[in-house]
Structure 1
């Protein structure tokens, strides 16, 4: 019966594709079915329907499944290359939850989106860089071609060591190009805690809206934690 219910919901979504926004009740019901055991592989019907209006719903579902989306990690490179902003945005979350050292190319693809023309996507890349494991970052960096982006990724990895480059973070926040500042803000977020948030406070003053809003959100989280 669970398979029948999930299949019916996919048919409903296919019959009424979205217009770039997420499909409502049917998508939410399908998410519940997926959590209850409906095979995630069946989402390929939405991913390969031939109608790109289904992609935002399919990618949102994958992003909400956390590690349950792992069987479809091979679908993510195409989603990260989608012309639809919300698809690229949600696909980054899928990589964060499911990619490991075997998935260097797709992690590198996320890093390349630090140059995305859409601020919302760059915000999501910043979140990825701040929350990714060292193993994920190393896998991605290893698949980047030589150049400034690879250097930034390798520098970010070093900040997880015993002696992070605090002065270098400040310099990159204040004097770097937008991509450099984004990587520096990720380092600031990963190093900031209840006792020391001065790096995030610097990031919250930058002109790039995606960096400024991300840093302010993290600062608010730290303040809430401090009052708990």
Structure 2
């Protein structure tokens, strides 16, 4: 139960973000304070006032808040498709994190939308898609694959699922990493990362040599993680 003082604090913070969109200092402090209020029970549905403000200067803050809420963002999953389609890079980036935390078998079209961002023109978005493909559950991947139309991304999604549900095709992963087009390489890198462990990092090492910045940096970051 949210008390009246807590509710008023949340309302004030949302209004502060709405009325000072160009003041990074004010918005930054207000967003962090609002995040605390949301974790304390202020209803996440109130973020629709930021999501639907019509001001592109506010949308990145709203998307960031959703991405920081983890599973608490689930009631607003219907808002995510629009965020994934946003022309603003940081909004798309944060929306992918929301999908990873909250998507289940009901959200196949949203997962499919993330998978289609494997061809996004922005390297940072492709990096985030690679992280999603690596970290997503089989149930999430299957939901997304089933919602994709026939074509390359669906074929790659179904192939990626097989690497985890059947005997992995290690030579096929390497061939796709080294000889595939950029989207194929991204899915192959996800398979490489998913199958690598502390005892065998050979696939990740291959991925770290790929001439594709988001794959190379993602693989190297995984290799550099402390055991």
**What range describes the TM-score normalised by the shorter chain of this pair?**
over 0.9
Q: Paired residue for 2:73?
A: 69
| Structure 1 Cα separation of the partners of residues 29 and 38 of structure 2 | 14
With over 3 angstroms needed to count, the CA separation of the structure-2 counterparts of 1:152 and 1:162, relative to structure 1, is: closer
Q: Paired residue for 1:108?
A: 112
Deviations 1:39-58 (A, max 9, x none): 00000000001111111000
Structure 1 runs not aligned, ≥5 long:
none
| Structure 1 Cα separation of the partners of residues 23 and 80 of structure 2 | 21
Aligned ranges 1:1-228 → 2 under 5 Å? 1-18=5-22, 23-221=27-225, 224-225=226-227
- Is the Cα–Cα contact under 8 Å of residues 19 and 53 in structure 1 kept in the other structure? no
With over 3 angstroms needed to count, the CA separation of the structure-2 counterparts of 1:213 and 1:41, relative to structure 1, is: same
With over 3 angstroms needed to count, the CA separation of the structure-2 counterparts of 1:175 and 1:78, relative to structure 1, is: same
The Cα of 1:22 is off from its aligned counterpart by 10
Deviations 1:83-123 (A, max 9, x none): 00000000000000000000000000000000100000000
Q: Normalising by the residue count of structure 2, what TM-score does the alignment of the two structures yield? A: 0.96
How many residues align? The count is 223
The Cα of 1:148 is off from its aligned counterpart by 1.0
Q: Normalising by the residue count of structure 1, what TM-score does the alignment of the two structures yield? A: 0.95
Q: How large is the Cα RMSD of the aligned pairs? A: 1.4
With over 3 angstroms needed to count, the CA separation of the structure-2 counterparts of 1:128 and 1:19, relative to structure 1, is: farther
The Cα of 1:23 is off from its aligned counterpart by 3.4
Structure 2 runs not aligned, ≥5 long:
none
| Structure 2 Cα separation of the partners of residues 26 and 175 of structure 1 | 48
Please identify runs of 4+ aligned residues in structure 1 that moved more than 6 A.
19-22
| Structure 1 Cα separation of the partners of residues 24 and 101 of structure 2 | 23
